[in-house]
């Protein structure tokens, strides 16, 4: 049985003080859930958030990472820095990184491999534009992104990775994919992983849906057979994040 994950993606929101305030507000309400909860937070919030969740099961993730270990990369954060700060997950290949910071499939693959080397679980994002969906090339495009992200990743490591399917047209728009659309793509991603690594890895790998997830649509999405939880942007900054985590009672 795959354990569900609900990961918040705070994006560029929350100063360190605000971050601690939010975590303190949510922390107790999140206790006692069977779902794995991850707060993916801006780099500067990592240390205070790790401290604020230290007596809980909540995990902390980063939103990005460089693939080099150290050196002259002004402004970047290395995998070793993340590990040393208590990070267990890192979002890689988010469409905002691809779109605004020019990250391509090769760069994302390097980051995935480096995160694995450091024992950080990558949350590998993929997703199509509205044009690609309308042209009917969604599944082909996502296959290309997944194949690239997993290049040279070994089967045991692949099984521990998390994939997030996030249609770009659903991110921050309030226009959520239907559970049928989301399931169709997540199923195709699992088939793709099966082709690459076989049944065992495909059964283990966790696939999330992201894009306008909220407390009223989480249950239907997360109950789809190939959807193992969600990557939540806007709603992760609000108290209804707790209702998303507790979707089973919704």
Q: Which is nearer to ligand PGA, 157 or 228 (CB)?
A: 228
128 is an active site residue: no
Q: How far is the CB of 237 from ligand PGA (least distance, A)?
A: 9
Helix/strand/coil percent split, the chain, to 5? 50, 15, 35
- Compare residues 78 and 236 and give the one whose CB is closer to ligand PGA: 236
Distances (CA, A) of 48 to 15, 23, 44: 10, 10, 8
Choose between 79 and 211: whose C-beta lies nearer to ligand PGA: 211
Smallest distance, ligand PGA to C-beta of residue 94, A? 6
Token digits for 31? 């206790």
Q: Using CB atoms within 10 A of its CB, is residue 22 exposed (0-12), middle (13-18) or buried (19+)? A: buried
How far is the C-alpha of 206 from the C-alpha of 210, rounded, in Å? 13
User: Which residues contribute to the site for ligand PGA (CB under 6 A)?
Assistant: 9, 166, 171-172, 210-213, 231-235
Determine how many CB atoms are found less than 10 A away from the CB of residue 47.
Answer: 16
- The answer to whether 77 touches 66, Cβ cutoff 8 Å, is yes
**Is 51 labeled as catalytic in the residue annotation?**
no
Catalytic residue among 36, 63, 66, 94: 94
Least Å distance, CB 232 to ligand PGA, is 5
Q: Which is nearer to ligand PGA, 11 or 197 (CB)?
A: 11
Q: Which residues pair with 7 in a beta bridge?
A: 38, 231
Q: How far is the CB of 182 from ligand PGA (least distance, A)?
A: 13
Residue nearest to ligand PGA (CB): 233
Catalytic (active-site) positions: 94, 166
């Amino acid at each position: 049985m795959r354990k569900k994950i609900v990961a918040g993606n705070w994006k560029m929101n929350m100063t360190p003080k605000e971050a601690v305030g939010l975590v303190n507000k949510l922390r107790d309400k999140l206790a006692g859930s069977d779902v794995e909860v991850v707060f993916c937070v801006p780099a500067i919030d990592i240390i205070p958030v790790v401290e604020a969740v230290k007596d809980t099961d909540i995990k902390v993730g980063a939103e990005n990472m460089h693939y080099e270990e150290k050196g002259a990369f002004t402004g970047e954060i290395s995998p070793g820095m993340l590990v040393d700060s208590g990070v267990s997950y890192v979002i890689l290949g988010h469409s905002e990184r691809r779109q605004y910071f020019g990250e391509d499939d090769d760069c994302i693959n390097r980051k995935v491999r480096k995160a694995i080397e450091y024992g950080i679980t990558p949350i590998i994002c993929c997703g199509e534009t509205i044009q690609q969906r309308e042209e009917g090339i969604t599944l082909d495009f996502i296959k290309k992104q997944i194949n690239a992200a997993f290049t040279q990743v070994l089967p045991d490591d692949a099984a521990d990775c998390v994939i997030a399917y996030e249609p770009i047209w659903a991110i921050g728009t309030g226009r959520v994919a239907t559970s049928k659309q989301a399931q169709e793509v997540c199923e195709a991603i699992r088939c793709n992983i099966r082709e690459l690594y076989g049944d065992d890895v495909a059964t283990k790998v966790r696939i999330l849906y992201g894009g306008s997830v909220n407390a009223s649509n989480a249950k239907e999405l997360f109950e789809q057979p190939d959807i193992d939880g969600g990557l939540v942007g806007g709603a992760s900054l609000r108290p209804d994040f707790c209702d998303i985590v507790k979707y089973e009672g919704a």
